[in-house]
Amino acid sequence: MKFENILEEIDGFGPFQIIIIVLLCTPRIVLPCHFLLNNFITTVPAHHCDFSTLEDGGLYINLTQEQKLTVSIPVGRDGDPKSCEMFAEPQFHLLSNTSSSTDLPTVQCQTGWVYNSTFTSTLATEWDLVCDRKSLTKTTSTIFFFGVMIGAIAFGFLCDKYGRKNTLLASYLMTIAFGFSSAFANSYILFAVLRFLTGFALTGISINSVVLSIEWVDTGHRSFIGVIGSLAWSVGNMLLAGFAYLVNDFRALIMTVTAPLGFAVLTWWWIPESARWLLANGKVKQAQFYLDKCAKFNKRPILANKMKLERLSEIEMTEKQDKNYTYIDLIRTPKMRRLTLLAGIMWYGVASTYYGISLNISGFGLNIYLTHFIYAVIEVPAKLMIYWLLNIIGRRKCQAGTLLLTGICIAINIFIPKGLWHVRAVVAILGKGLSEASFTTAFLYTTEFYPTVIRQNGMGYSSFISRLGVSVAPLILLLEDIWTVLPQIIICTVAIISGLASLFLPETLNVRLPETIDDIEKQRLAQCVKFENALEFVDKCPF
């Protein structure tokens, strides 16, 4: 007897499961609001050196603001005032337009900067993160995602030890505490530390909201729940553009996107603990309570035979003790090493490509709010499309195809002139949709090609690699100072390499899932007979 048999008796996809999904919508909406928050709070507005001290001597009497700017700030090659330099002393002769300012002596900004922005405040304006300190704005995002990466390891252990529901509440409370605290940080270092801790706490929400949804749903509806449930991410992504447009102060914006978790804390009381986890840990009475509640909501008969649950609990606990698999088992045998390597390449490409595009929302002729909103909207049809294609052409072709097409879209934009901003915007939006489709596919695909005995370890490893890719993505964007298109070239290359690597993963559509490591090592080897050509070999025997 398996837990799935019990779910069949009480309905594995009924009103009870729908309620769980609804209750977990709010925290899932908060996730993208924090993960992509740096698109707005780190915005570096147009700025120039503050030359107000020169006005103290009465040198600028009778000059307009434009004339003051002309005699104080040199002009760059693009005709705009330079952001990080000023003349050592006012150059009044430039008012006659008879001289060039390129050869005149300049100095670095002496007394700060003047900002021209629609934002009331951002990290850049609050702590002058411009010129030689502008890399710190991108570094903030990397620090946040490092917190997410460490959280993936920590909460993977905690939710198995202390339960999904309790860990979820701890994540709610920690995120609220660290999120609001970061809004009141009085120094950049303190803000960075609190953002790291916020990222750490948010991972608990990410992990537990998915696990709770999946563990209460029968096998036939898991892919549906995985795809449809992820639409909450897209909704949150769209809302972030609206919040940022309405709230122009970075401190107020952080509090705005964190506040919904207060409502999530109130609804937490109605979220059930995973009955599967309770049985696996010998908590039969609590499991019986939630299973009876599920049966009542789904209008099914309440389980009468408690002996079944006790027997199942003993089996689950015995299996849990016997299966002492670790991360080492992912690389212990030859074909598992190959599978793990290919999965790592795929996940690194999926994550770094998605966030490399998502965190770069300028340069398409649209304001950042509209670009971000369109990027979020395109995710909805992308997810619905990939759900349909997954059961037609298979997981492997969907994974490889979306990654390769994403890379092609990025490559095309490298060669399209910036003057054709409307064409660049269309190609970029298409690439964003494809990158989201690859992310959605990866979650389902990974759960299917790892053997059951180490599936959790495989998912933990994949999560770690993806967070590593996310952490590096903001740093890649900094390379535009070396060469404008270098970040696009790197992200394009990563997408194509990871797409090609995906072609060598096994197809899992309508295939019995591997249960043990021997299924990977022996069963697929036995299927590798002689084929007429190399393409058929790769298709039938990817190992």
At 340, list the tokens. 């793990």
- What does the domain layout of the chain look like in residue ranges? 46-116, 325-543
The predicted structure's pLDDT at residue 305: 61
Report the distance separating Cα 367 and Cα 93, nearest Å.
Answer: 37
325-543: CATH topology is Growth Hormone; Chain: A; (1.20.1250)
Cα separation, 188 vs 74, whole angstroms:
30
Report whether pLDDT(531) > 50.
Answer: no
**CB-side neighbour CA atoms (13 Å) of 302:** 10
Q: Are 106 and 90 in contact (CB under 8 A)?
A: no
Digit-coded pLDDT (tens) for 103-140: 678 888 888 888 887 778 889 889 988 888 888 888 89
What pLDDT is attached to residue 525?
A: 44
Model confidence at 535, pLDDT cuts 50, 70, 90, reads: very low
Q: Tell me the per-residue pLDDT of 449-486, one tens digit each, with 9 for 90 and over.
A: 888 667 767 877 888 888 888 888 888 888 887 888 89
pLDDT band (50, 70, 90) for residue 528:
very low
Ramachandran category for residue 163: left, alpha or beta (phi over 0 → left; psi -120 to 50 → alpha): left
Q: Which residue has the higher pLDDT, 456 or 367?
A: 367
- 3-class DSSP state for residue 486? helix
Q: Is the dihedral of CA 78, 83, 86, 91 positive or negative?
A: positive
**If pLDDT is split at 50, 70 and 90, which confidence band does 58 have?**
low
- Taking every pair of Cα atoms in the chain, the longest distance, rounded to a whole number of angstroms, is 97
Residues 316-348 pLDDT 10s: 555 555 556 777 888 888 899 999 999 999 999
> Tens of pLDDT along 4-56?
777 778 888 889 989 998 899 889 999 999 999 998 998 888 888 887 776 65
Per-residue confidence at 162, pLDDT binned at 50, 70, 90? confident
Q: In Å, what is the CA distance from 268 to each residue of 19, 22, 51, 168, 285?
A: 12, 11, 54, 8, 21
pLDDT at 538 over 60: no
**Integer Rg of the chain from CA:** 27
Give the Cα separation of 57 and 79 in Å (integer): 29
Q: How confident is the model over 182-202, as a mean pLDDT?
A: 95
In sequence order, the 6+-apart residues with CB closer than 8 A to the CB of 531 are 537, 540, 541
> What per-residue confidence (pLDDT) applies to 11?
84
Which of 297, 247, 311 lies closest to 43, judged by CA? 247
Q: Say what the pLDDT of residue 59 is.
A: 67
Minimum mean pLDDT among 171-175, 421-425, 524-528: which range? 524-528
Given this model, what pLDDT does residue 537 score? 43
* Residue 519 DSSP one-character state: I
Q: What pLDDT, in 10s, does the model give residues 249-275?
A: 999 999 999 999 999 999 999 999 988
Instruction: Give 527's pLDDT tier (boundaries 50, 70, 90).
Output: very low
Q: Could you tell me if 28 and 209 are in contact, meaning their C-beta atoms sit under 8 angstroms apart?
A: yes
Coil, strand or helix at 115:
strand
* pLDDT average, residue stretch 416-443: 87
Round to whole Å and give the CA distance between 540 and 492.
28
Q: Average pLDDT of the chain? A: 83
Cα(first)–Cα(last) distance of the chain, in Å?
A: 33
